Amino acid sequence: MTPPRSALGASPPGGPARGPAPPGPRRRAVRGFTLVELLVALFVLALMAGMAWQGVDLLMRSRDATQQRLDRLLRLQSVLAQWEADLRQVADTQAMPALDFDGASLRLTRLQGDGVQLVVWTLRGGTLTRWASPALRGLEPLQEAFMRSHQLLGDEAGSLSALDGLSAWQLYFYDQSSSAWRNAQSSGDLAGADAGEPPPTGEAPAPPAAPREALPDGVRLVLDLAEPGPEGSPATITRDLRLLPP
């Protein structure tokens, strides 16, 4: 007897039998940042921005300090160059001291064009100033300028603020006869007047001129800076110059 077709594995009505369907792709769940994570990220960004600003500020301060030191060095070199130019042109008029230092001011007479110029270097209020008169001809205008120079206030025509930031200054003169430096306010060697030609016959000889102080052979300038040097040591600038006869 033949079994029914359904018992022999015949397909059920409606088509062949199918197994379970394969699983489809799963959708990942979208996860956002929490409030704590956002706050931590903002804190890290703020910290990095602050560190970057401090670095930029330190760089700008260092650049400004370097530029100030460079400007001061160039100004100092310019002042010392003018100082040496004045001393190299010192001229002894025999009417007044060619170099006169009273502790606060140095007065000197120098050749300028076809005349003689009076120059005064003064330390006033921590600032080294320079005053120069016009080129003068004749002893009377020169003596008048010399007397007027004792009343300088620093705002006269011809005055120039040369260098600031100084606490004190000092001058020393070198005499080759003694081979030693001396304080510029102390007396130096005396130079006698030239006897010149003898007077004509029958005339009385002229009285000898009073001895005067001779020009030194060298000048030493010592500047004390107001700002201390390395490790708090006092900062000084020393410049020696040999005087040559014009």
pLDDT in tens, 155-164: 788 889 899 9
For residue 40, the number of C-alpha atoms closer than 13 Å in the C-beta half-sphere is: 5
Q: How do residues 106-124 score in pLDDT, each as one tens digit?
A: 999 999 888 899 999 999 9
Q: Is residue 127 part of a domain?
A: yes
Q: Is the pLDDT of residue 191 over 80?
A: no
Report if residue 175 sits inside a domain. yes
For residue 139, tell me if it sits in a domain.
Answer: yes
Mean pLDDT of the chain: 79
Residue 3: the pLDDT is 55
Domain that holds residue 117: 62-186+212-242
Domain annotation covers residue 20: no
Answer yes or no: pTM beyond 0.95: no
Domain-located, residue 170: yes
Q: Is residue 93 part of a domain?
A: yes
Tell which residue, 107, 129, 128, has the closest CA to residue 119: 107
The answer to whether residue 14 is domain-embedded is no
Q: In the structure, what pLDDT confidence band is assigned to residue 196 with cuts at 50, 70 and 90?
A: very low
Residue 50 lies in a domain: no
Cβ atoms of residues 156 and 115 within 8 Å? no
Name the DSSP letter for residue 80. H
d(CA 235, CA 167): 10
Q: State how many domains the chain has.
A: 1
pLDDT of 42 above 50? yes
